[in-house]
Homo-oligomer: A and B are copies of this chain.
Amino acid sequence: MSGDTPPEGPRQLRKGRAKASDPAALAEFALRPDPADPRLTERVAGVDQDGRAVETAVVVERPLTLFLNGQEIVTMMTIGDYPDYLAVGYLLNQNMLHPEDVIESIDVDEELEVVVVRTERQTNYEEKLKKKVRTSGCAQGTVFGDLMEKFETVKLPAEAVLKTSWLVTLSKKINSVPSLYLEAGAIHGCVLCEGDRPLLYMEDVGRHNAVDKIAGYMLLHGIGPEDKIFYTTGRLTSEMVIKTVQMGIPILVSRSGFTAWGVELAKQAGLTLVGRAKGKRFVALAGAERLVFDHDPEALEDEDPRHQRKSGRADDAA
Contacts and interface: CB of A to CB of B under 8 A. Distances in A.
A305 to B, nearest CB: 11
B317 A309 contact: no
Interface residues of A, number: 87
A285 B44 contact: yes
Q: Tell me if A's interface is mostly helix, strand, loop or mixed.
A: mixed
Nearest to A60: B260
Interface stretch (A20-28, A99-107, A153-161, A251-259): A251-259
Interface string A279-317: 011111110100101010100000000000101111111
Nearest to A239: B139
B235 A316 contact: yes
Contact of A285 (B46, B236, B286, B315): B46
Q: Which 4 A-B pairs have the closest CB atoms?
A: A137-B139, A186-B257, A314-B314, A142-B142
15 contacts: A44-B285, A47-B291, A60-B261, A61-B237, A62-B261, A74-B133, A77-B133, A77-B141, A132-B132, A134-B206, A137-B141, A138-B139, A186-B256, A186-B259, A256-B313
